[in-house]
Chains A and B, each alone.
Chain A
Amino acid sequence: MLKVDNLTKVYEGGVKALTNVSFEVQPGQFLAIIGLSGSGKSTLLRCINRLIEPTTGRITWDGVDITAAPQEELRRIRRRIGMVFQQFNLVHRSKVITNVLAGRLGYVNPALSLFNRFPQADMKRALQQLDRVGLAEKAWSRADELSGGQQQRVGIARAMVQEPQMILADEPVASLDPVLAHGIMQYLEDINKSGHVTTLCSLHFLDLVHRYADRAIALNDGFLVFDGAPDEIDDAKFKEIYGKEAERIG
């Protein structure tokens, strides 16, 4: 179980991105995080694997305090958390397979990995995951030769070779057109449902939230303003989350 307790993040310069955010996520749950741009969704997700250091508050996962973990332990926590990004964040000039194998870096011998040597088993895992997202034949292409949707699938494969117990997806479909969006979301859903991988996914479109999420939380200007089932977001709640001028689309 992931437990976020009174999480606050103040950036250098005094910008308050999160204020006393608390919530819990049950194992295997698909949690959607919604809110306007700049409401703190990305900061929240990055605090969970400490890509961003929280200012105060505690995050515990299966009883382990992530916020207090020293560097070595943090690495061992991070390798069990896969992350998917809005901009895919692939290394463009590297091969697809290298990008996927990067997901194993937390497990392999650090010295050997510096010379691009991975155990056979990891190679097999990487090819399996590429096959799963339908890109096995692109394994030896350069990452920047792929289209946006394909790149995001490589991003998912990279997260999956970590054999994660949790996936953090930061607006995974915001840079893709709607048709591709469902494809990507279905991969995440499959990982969540068949692999029982806890999934935290920030999303823009409410219809995606209704379609894929078990539960939703909403942030507005760093405050948690909603926590409940996606169906509970009615017009009043919607205006509370997105502001009075917002109109529902989709």
Chain B
Amino acid sequence: MDNDLLGPARHSRPLLRAVLVLFGVFLLLVVYAFAFEQTEVDLDKVEDEGRRQQLVRIIRSLAHPDIITYPEEETYYFVEIAVPCPEDGFAPAVPDTSQAYMTVEPACADTGTDVTVRGFNFEPGTRSPLSFIPNVEGIALKRADIEVKADGTFEVVIEIPDRPDEEAQLLRVKTVEHTGGWTWSNSARDTWDKITETVMLALMATTLGIAVGIPLSFFSARNLMRPIRSPLLSVGLFIFGIPAGGLGGILVARSMLGVGDEVFLRTPALTAPALAGVLLLAWLLMRRLLAAGATTADTPRARASRVSGWLLFVILGLVALLLAGYLLLEADRVTDALGPFGFLAGFLAKIGDLITTFFTAVVAGLAALAGALGGSRIGHALNDHLPGHLKSPFRYLAGFLGIGVIAGGIGMLVDWLYEYNGNNPAIPRAAAVALLAIAGGLIAARLTRPVREHLRDNDLQALASVLGFLATVVGLAIGFALGIFLGTGMDFLADLVMDRPSLMAAVLVGGLLGLILAWVTRHLDALPSGMITYYLSRSLFNGIRSVEPLVMAIVFVVWVGLGPFAGSLALALHTVAALAKLYSEQVESILPGPLEAVTATGATRLQNVVYAVVPQIVPPYIAFTLYRWDINVRMSTIIGFAGGGGIGFLLQQNMNLLQYRAASVQMLAIAVVVSTLDFVSARVRERIV
């Protein structure tokens, strides 16, 4: 049937088709005409002789990379000439004909006339410049290039420049001879330094990119995220768990650092034994946990003891990490003793510095993760085991907390970016009052509903939810008040909340939206949390990816100063986004069968990823990682243009100074590195696939 409809239209109107094609061609013509105009195509410039000569000069310089030099000896040969001819005539000194010498014919001449210069006994094949040397300090006027013939002579006609003088002046030939073996030129040495820096910069950026990109890539894989649906209860508590856990983590980390600085910075000798003790404890605990892991008892008690055991293990691990940080800080003391390998001790000390500096962040991050996972677990458990009418208030609470936290985060960001708090405190206050009024109204409406309507089962539910909600608000308020007045350790919580009416407003708006969300989705078992995560992470990556690394480099140069550190940070950020996208597309193209089979055995999502997904994506991940390294090496040339360190800095400098032979060395080095990486990656892929 379709054929009947399409057939005639396609074949019976050749005229129409011809007109359409003609119109298309005409349209293309217009587009290209416009493109020519816009790109300022100028054939006159292409044919311009002067520009051509410059081009040839540049290309020839590029073809002569300045890699090696020879020690040189310069020799000068002179012959006298009088300009103009003196009235009493001019007789030049008689040259020593046993060595290389030159004659001028005639020996004196007027400005602008030609003279013939002849040379004898020169090294055959020598090419040298012939210059007129006036009686002025430091000036040589190049007249011609001479080329010595096989019999050791040359002959060249030159024009006398406009340099009349009463004294005799000189014509000079300068020859250069290599007097020893070759050595690396300065630009080769500089290039070597900078290309090493570039490769390392690219390595750091790629490593960081992999470390962050791989875990994130799973969140932007549609096939993994689509089946994930979570009840609002667990979503809300998951989100709430992030700041709750994070703040708890900060408190814990601060107290740990307080004790640690007090004890181990003062008496470093204690660090090593303490670390050994903690590691021993952790090892003993690990053995117990492994032994317990063999028995797969599923009673709540067994599970509780297992979870608490692993928790203790993680805490011990964190303590060990901090102690290791303190220990590594001491590595600075042996820098001098190690001589040329001092950079190793410096590296260790830097790692120690990194650990102690970022310890709070690490603990906060881990605690945030634990809080989120714990919240999600609790949410799931409540959702699975609570009867419907008890579940409802918790759903509303979870909606309030979850969306409230998100809105609070956005509020803080907006506050920080646009400084509402400092500039216009009226806005958040007004918003807060308005929102509180709305919220109060809604709550009142909800409260009075059972009175207004007849009693049904649903009304009990509604009442329960409102009571639950109110109880929670009261509880939250009490909690905050307690927290704020609980003493010095909690000061920062007070700072965080008390002086920020806009934050409170944002949380309230979000909380309200959360309540609305809970109400709208009251009939749904679960929300498509996987796809929400998918779209969020995708948009984030697309956003980051659309910012050119060059622009990022400029931002990072402002932050951490000129040099390769800024470059590697800029490239790392871009690499995360680019690799996460490439990786996630690989995850999306795996065979679904193994995934299905592993799911069917009762595996968890994480086990599924490790056993069914990871083995399938190892080869493309390695290929993409190496490719990205290669891209990063090439990009770091551009990054250098913006001050991000690496070979680009040198390249740009030489291009600006018109030192094309030096620039050529750098371009060559980049080409060599890129081809080497390509070769290596091909071999590695062959091995692993």
Assuming the contacts A93-B618, A112-B293, asked whether A105 and B593 have C-beta atoms less than 8 A apart, the reply is no
Assuming the contacts A51-B596, A105-B611, A111-B310, asked whether A162 and B293 have C-beta atoms less than 8 A apart, the reply is no
Assuming the contacts A110-B607, A114-B607, asked whether A105 and B602 have C-beta atoms less than 8 A apart, the reply is yes
Interface stretch, picked from A54-62, A82-90, A197-205, A218-226, is A82-90
Assuming the contacts A78-B601, A107-B296, A109-B293, asked whether A93 and B607 have C-beta atoms less than 8 A apart, the reply is no
The docked-state distance in angstroms from the alpha carbon of A49 to that of B597 is 11
B601 touches A158 (CB 8 A): yes
B294 proximal to A (CB < 8 A): yes
A85 touches B603 (CB 8 A): no
For the complex formed, measure the closest distance between the CB of B381 and the CB atoms of chain A, giving whole angstroms. Answer: 8
The docked-state distance in angstroms from the alpha carbon of A147 to that of B384 is 44
Residues of A within 8 Å of B593, CB to CB, are: 85, 87-89
B598 proximal to A (CB < 8 A): yes
B383 touches A91 (CB 8 A): no
A81 proximal to B (CB < 8 A): yes
Assuming the contacts A70-B384, A109-B293, asked whether A91 and B615 have C-beta atoms less than 8 A apart, the reply is yes
One digit per residue, 1 when the CB lies within 8 angstroms of any chain A CB and 0 when it does not, for chain B 594-615 equals 1011111111101100111001
Interface residues in B607-631 (C-beta closer than 8 Å to A) = 607, 610-612, 615-616, 618-619
Interface residues in A104-162 (C-beta closer than 8 Å to B) = 104-114, 117, 119-121, 155, 158, 162
A186 proximal to B (CB < 8 A): no
The one of A72, A87, A89, A108 in contact with B296, judged by C-beta atoms closer than 8 angstroms, is A108
Assuming the contacts A76-B298, A105-B601, A110-B606, asked whether A94 and B611 have C-beta atoms less than 8 A apart, the reply is yes
Assuming the contacts A76-B298, A94-B615, asked whether A83 and B597 have C-beta atoms less than 8 A apart, the reply is yes
Residues of A within 8 Å of B380, CB to CB, are: 70-72
By beta carbon, the residue of chain B nearest A81 is B600
A78 touches B600 (CB 8 A): yes
Residues of A within 8 Å of B619, CB to CB, are: 93
Residues of A within 8 Å of B294, CB to CB, are: 119-121
B306 proximal to A (CB < 8 A): yes
The docked-state distance in angstroms from the alpha carbon of A108 to that of B380 is 21
B524 proximal to A (CB < 8 A): no
Residues of B within 8 Å of A111, CB to CB, are: 310
Residues of A within 8 Å of B610, CB to CB, are: 113-114
B290 proximal to A (CB < 8 A): yes
A90 touches B298 (CB 8 A): no
A105 touches B618 (CB 8 A): no
The one of B290, B296, B306, B594 in contact with A90, judged by C-beta atoms closer than 8 angstroms, is B594
Assuming the contacts A51-B599, A72-B380, A110-B604, asked whether A91 and B293 have C-beta atoms less than 8 A apart, the reply is no
A103 proximal to B (CB < 8 A): yes
A98 proximal to B (CB < 8 A): yes
For the complex formed, measure the closest distance between the CB of B301 and the CB atoms of chain A, giving whole angstroms. Answer: 16
B596 touches A85 (CB 8 A): yes
By beta carbon, the residue of chain A nearest B610 is A114
For the complex formed, measure the closest distance between the CB of A39 and the CB atoms of chain B, giving whole angstroms. Answer: 20
For the complex formed, measure the closest distance between the CB of B67 and the CB atoms of chain A, giving whole angstroms. Answer: 45
By beta carbon, the residue of chain B nearest A94 is B615
For the complex formed, measure the closest distance between the CB of B601 and the CB atoms of chain A, giving whole angstroms. Answer: 5
One digit per residue, 1 when the CB lies within 8 angstroms of any chain A CB and 0 when it does not, for chain B 257-301 equals 000000000000000000000000000000000100110101000
Assuming the contacts A70-B384, A85-B596, asked whether A91 and B602 have C-beta atoms less than 8 A apart, the reply is no
By beta carbon, the residue of chain A nearest B384 is A70
Residues of B within 8 Å of A90, CB to CB, are: 594, 597
For the complex formed, measure the closest distance between the CB of B333 and the CB atoms of chain A, giving whole angstroms. Answer: 36
A158 touches B602 (CB 8 A): no
B384 touches A72 (CB 8 A): yes
The docked-state distance in angstroms from the alpha carbon of A98 to that of B597 is 13
The docked-state distance in angstroms from the alpha carbon of A92 to that of B613 is 11
The docked-state distance in angstroms from the alpha carbon of A72 to that of B603 is 10
Interface residues in A144-192 (C-beta closer than 8 Å to B) = 155, 158, 162, 168
B597 touches A78 (CB 8 A): no
The docked-state distance in angstroms from the alpha carbon of A158 to that of B298 is 22
A3 proximal to B (CB < 8 A): no
For the complex formed, measure the closest distance between the CB of B479 and the CB atoms of chain A, giving whole angstroms. Answer: 29
A91 touches B298 (CB 8 A): no
A17 proximal to B (CB < 8 A): no
A75 proximal to B (CB < 8 A): yes
The docked-state distance in angstroms from the alpha carbon of A172 to that of B612 is 20
B602 touches A76 (CB 8 A): yes
Residues of B within 8 Å of A41, CB to CB, are: none
The docked-state distance in angstroms from the alpha carbon of A82 to that of B683 is 40
The docked-state distance in angstroms from the alpha carbon of A108 to that of B298 is 11
Residues of A within 8 Å of B384, CB to CB, are: 70-73
Residues of B within 8 Å of A85, CB to CB, are: 593, 596-597
The docked-state distance in angstroms from the alpha carbon of A110 to that of B602 is 11
Residues of B within 8 Å of A102, CB to CB, are: 597-598, 601, 603, 611-612
For the complex formed, measure the closest distance between the CB of A51 and the CB atoms of chain B, giving whole angstroms. Answer: 6
A79 proximal to B (CB < 8 A): yes
A114 touches B606 (CB 8 A): yes
B607 touches A49 (CB 8 A): no
For the complex formed, measure the closest distance between the CB of A105 and the CB atoms of chain B, giving whole angstroms. Answer: 4
Interface residues in B378-402 (C-beta closer than 8 Å to A) = 380, 383-384
For the complex formed, measure the closest distance between the CB of B282 and the CB atoms of chain A, giving whole angstroms. Answer: 15
Interface residues in B554-602 (C-beta closer than 8 Å to A) = 591, 593-594, 596-602
Assuming the contacts A72-B384, A93-B615, asked whether A105 and B603 have C-beta atoms less than 8 A apart, the reply is yes
The docked-state distance in angstroms from the alpha carbon of A49 to that of B603 is 13
One digit per residue, 1 when the CB lies within 8 angstroms of any chain B CB and 0 when it does not, for chain A 30-61 equals 00000000000000000001010000000000
The docked-state distance in angstroms from the alpha carbon of A92 to that of B593 is 11
A112 touches B597 (CB 8 A): no
The docked-state distance in angstroms from the alpha carbon of A111 to that of B594 is 21
One digit per residue, 1 when the CB lies within 8 angstroms of any chain A CB and 0 when it does not, for chain B 112-142 equals 0000000000000000000000000000000
The docked-state distance in angstroms from the alpha carbon of A114 to that of B215 is 14
Residues of B within 8 Å of A94, CB to CB, are: 611, 615
The one of B290, B298, B310, B596 in contact with A89, judged by C-beta atoms closer than 8 angstroms, is B596
Residues of A within 8 Å of B596, CB to CB, are: 51, 85, 89
B601 touches A103 (CB 8 A): yes
Residues of A within 8 Å of B594, CB to CB, are: 89-92
One digit per residue, 1 when the CB lies within 8 angstroms of any chain A CB and 0 when it does not, for chain B 614-653 equals 0110110000000000000000000000000000000000
By beta carbon, the residue of chain B nearest A98 is B611
B603 touches A106 (CB 8 A): yes
| Pairs of residues from A and B, 5 with the lowest C-beta to C-beta distance, nearest first | A106-B602, A79-B602, A70-B384, A89-B593, A78-B602
Interface set of A (CB-CB < 8 Å, partner B): 49, 51, 70-73, 75-83, 85, 87-94, 98, 102-114, 117, 119-121, 155, 158, 162, 168
Of the A-B pairs whose beta carbons lie under 8 Å apart in the complex, a sample of 19, sorted by A's number, is A49-B600, A70-B380, A71-B380, A72-B380, A77-B602, A81-B600, A91-B616, A92-B615, A102-B598, A105-B601, A105-B603, A105-B604, A106-B603, A110-B604, A119-B293, A120-B294, A158-B601, A162-B601, A168-B600
Interface set of B (CB-CB < 8 Å, partner A): 290, 293-294, 296, 298, 306, 310, 380, 383-384, 591, 593-594, 596-604, 606-607, 610-612, 615-616, 618-619
Sample of 12 more A-B contacts, CB < 8 Å, known A80-B602, A89-B594:
A72-B380, A78-B601, A83-B597, A91-B615, A102-B611, A107-B602, A109-B296, A111-B310, A113-B607, A117-B290, A120-B294, A162-B602
